Amino acid sequence: MKIAIIGSGNIGTDLMFKALLSKKVEVVAMAGIDPDSDGLARARRRGLETTSSGVEGLVSLPSFASVDVVLDATSAGAHARNAEAVQAHGKRVIDLTPAALGPYVVPSVNLEEHLDAPNLNMVTCGGQATIPIVAAVSSVAPVLYAEIVASIASRSAGPGTRANIDEFTTTTARALERVGGAGRGKAIIVLNPAEPPLIMRDTVYCLVESCSEAEVVASVEAMVASVQEYVPGYRLKQEVQFTKVGDDEPVRTLAPGARGGVKVSVFLEVEGAAHYLPAYAGNLDIMTAAALRTAERLAEVGA
HSE-up of residue 33 (Cα within 13 Å, Cβ side): 10
Can you give the pLDDT at residue 273? 96
The reported pLDDT for the residue numbered 242 is 97
Identify the segments of the chain with pLDDT beneath 50.
none
Cα(268)–Cα(271) distance, rounded to whole angstroms? 10
Q: In the prediction, which pLDDT does 255 show?
A: 67
Query: How many of the other CB atoms lie within 10 Å of CB of 62?
Result: 9
Q: Which residues contact 166 (CB under 8 A, 6 or more apart)?
A: none
pLDDT tens-digit map of 84-105: 999 999 999 999 999 999 999 9
For the segment 164-198, what is each residue's pLDDT rounded down to a tens digit? 888 899 999 999 999 999 999 999 999 999 999 99
pLDDT value for 183: 94
Range 125-280: architecture per CATH: 2-Layer Sandwich (3.30)
Indicate the annotated binding residues for NAD(+): 8-11, 156-164, 283
Annotated active-site residue in 125, 153, 207, 298: 125
The span from the first CA to the last CA of the chain, in angstroms, equals 9
Going by the annotation, the residues of the binding site are: 8-11, 156-164, 283
The phi-psi region of residue 5 (left if phi > 0; otherwise alpha if psi is between -120 and 50; otherwise beta) is beta
CA-to-CA separations, 8 to 78, 81, 150, 189, in angstroms, rounded: 14, 17, 24, 23
SS3 readout for the chain:
CEEEEECCCHHHHHHHHHHHHCCCCEEEEEECCCCCCHHHHHHHHCCCEEECCHHHHHHCCHHHHHCCEEEECCCHHHHHHHHHHHHCCCCEEEECCCCCCCCECCHHHHHHHHCCCCEEECCCHHHHHHHHHHHHHHCCCCEEEEEEEEEEEHHHCCHHHHHCHHHHHHHHHHHHHHCCCCCEEEEEEEEECCCCCCCEEEEEEEEECCCCHHHHHHHHHHHHHHHHCCCCCEEECCCCEEEECCCCCHHHHHCCCCCCCEEEEEEEEECCCCCCCCCCCHHHHHHHHHHHHHHHHHHHHCC
- The CATH number corresponding to 2-122+285-301 among 3.40.50.300, 3.40.50.11740, 3.30.565.10, 3.40.50.720 equals 3.40.50.720
Dihedral sign (CA 231, 265, 219, 184): negative
Q: Which part of the chain has CATH 3.40.50.720?
A: 2-122+285-301
Residues spanned by CATH 3.30.360.10 within the chain?
125-280
| 125 is an active site residue | yes
